[in-house]
Chain A
């Protein structure tokens, strides 16, 4: 039985990326696509993925440079480099030559399931109840502050509070808040902030804080 793996596919050819993703989905895995090496590095650093597929020739940062940077940062999860040329490198765990043979790709997953001995299991930690309570209290304050900042259109405070939520909520078991905040931050990197965009996040916050009340 296949153990579903979270797979990051960094491939700038959208059709090829979709093809790979479809094959992996049909094998029971959970692929996510990014289109360049910069996004590959930032996505990989979320540590959400069990294995990262990197096309060598990509805009912004090529696959080999992305792999090298990740290893410099201590990233130890399996990396697969995909290239039309033969590549001799020890930076990645597997090199696959294009055109991609899906059985060869799937075989990497079999190799990847034998995790390095120092990261055999995800390292999970229980947060102390009193610390949870502290966060819950802070969450109520943040919701109020965010409402006020939204009412008066204080963009700087809104960005700061959303940033704060993105960085903390998931650690305290509220991944939905982190995800919503992360989406807003990404959106605001390329588009102006509109307070209407905060509706989803405010609803999630209200729901979480209603459990506390």
Chain B
């Protein structure tokens, strides 16, 4: 039985979260990706994002920079402190180099510039695949008898 991976989508716009979910459901079927089972969580604010993150412990987060009650980069920093090994994709409609570098320095795994499309989502999921594979290999070498 496939393990279920939880994805948290954080954006203040409902149709944007739905679009991202729509795209993820489609792209996760791509042949370039390992077959995994996913469930989707949503948050429309910084406060809700932190609450959902702590309650449901998602493995993958898509986090918008512009939130109504805070800066997504601050949320990123908080989430990484709470759980260092979570894979967080920073999302923004503006791709300044400063934003990109700040996000990476605060622990974002990658950065997506809106508007969303299949290629951008696929790249992020391929990185997530590699991230999980590398972690599995790392865990096996430390604890040879354990498995994830």
Hey, which bits of chain A sit against chain B, CB under 8 A?
A: 38, 41-42, 45-47, 60-61, 69, 72-76, 117-119, 122-128, 131, 134-135, 138, 163-164, 166-172, 178, 185
Instruction: Select which of A69, A76, A131, A163 is within 8 A of B19 by beta carbon.
Output: A131
Verify A42–B19 contact, CB threshold 8 A: no
> Which one of B35-43, B51-59, B76-84, B121-129 contacts A?
B121-129
Provided the pairs A42-B96, A185-B94 are in contact, do residues A123 and B126 lie with their beta carbons within 8 angstroms?
no
Hey, which bits of chain B sit against chain A, CB under 8 A?
A: 13-16, 18-19, 22-23, 26-27, 30, 32, 66, 92-97, 100-101, 104, 110-124, 126-127
Provided the pairs A73-B110, A73-B111, A167-B114 are in contact, do residues A42 and B22 lie with their beta carbons within 8 angstroms?
no
Please name all residues of chain A whose beta carbon is closer than 8 Å to the beta carbon of B92 when the two chains form the complex. Answer: 167
Verify B94–A123 contact, CB threshold 8 A: no
CB distance from A138 to the nearest CB of B (A): 6
Please name all residues of chain B whose beta carbon is closer than 8 Å to the beta carbon of A42 when the two chains form the complex. Answer: 95-97, 100, 113
Give 8 nearest A-B pairs by CB, closest first. Answer: A123-B118, A167-B93, A167-B114, A118-B32, A170-B115, A42-B95, A74-B127, A125-B26
Verify B93–A41 contact, CB threshold 8 A: no
Verify B93–A123 contact, CB threshold 8 A: no
Please name all residues of chain A whose beta carbon is closer than 8 Å to the beta carbon of B119 when the two chains form the complex. Answer: 47, 119, 122-123
CB distance from B115 to the nearest CB of A (A): 4
Bound CA–CA A163/B26 (angstroms): 26
Please name all residues of chain A whose beta carbon is closer than 8 Å to the beta carbon of B15 when the two chains form the complex. Answer: 131, 134-135, 138, 168
Bound CA–CA A131/B104 (angstroms): 32
CB distance from A165 to the nearest CB of B (A): 9
Verify B16–A167 contact, CB threshold 8 A: yes
Bound CA–CA A41/B98 (angstroms): 11
Verify A75–B118 contact, CB threshold 8 A: no
Please name all residues of chain A whose beta carbon is closer than 8 Å to the beta carbon of B117 when the two chains form the complex. Answer: 47, 123-125, 170-171
Bound CA–CA A41/B13 (angstroms): 26
Verify A167–B95 contact, CB threshold 8 A: no
Shortest Cβ distance from B120 into A: residue: A47
- Most chain B CB neighbours (cut-off 10 Å) among A42, A122, A125: A125
Instruction: Select which of A117, A125, A168 is within 8 A of B13 by beta carbon.
Output: A168
Shortest Cβ distance from A174 into B: residue: B115
Provided the pairs A47-B119, A74-B124 are in contact, do residues A134 and B22 lie with their beta carbons within 8 angstroms?
no
Bound CA–CA A127/B97 (angstroms): 30
Verify B114–A166 contact, CB threshold 8 A: yes
Provided the pairs A74-B123, A119-B122, A123-B27 are in contact, do residues A38 and B97 lie with their beta carbons within 8 angstroms?
yes
Please name all residues of chain B whose beta carbon is closer than 8 Å to the beta carbon of A122 when the two chains form the complex. Answer: 118-119
Bound CA–CA A135/B20 (angstroms): 13
Provided the pairs A41-B100, A135-B15 are in contact, do residues A171 and B123 lie with their beta carbons within 8 angstroms?
no
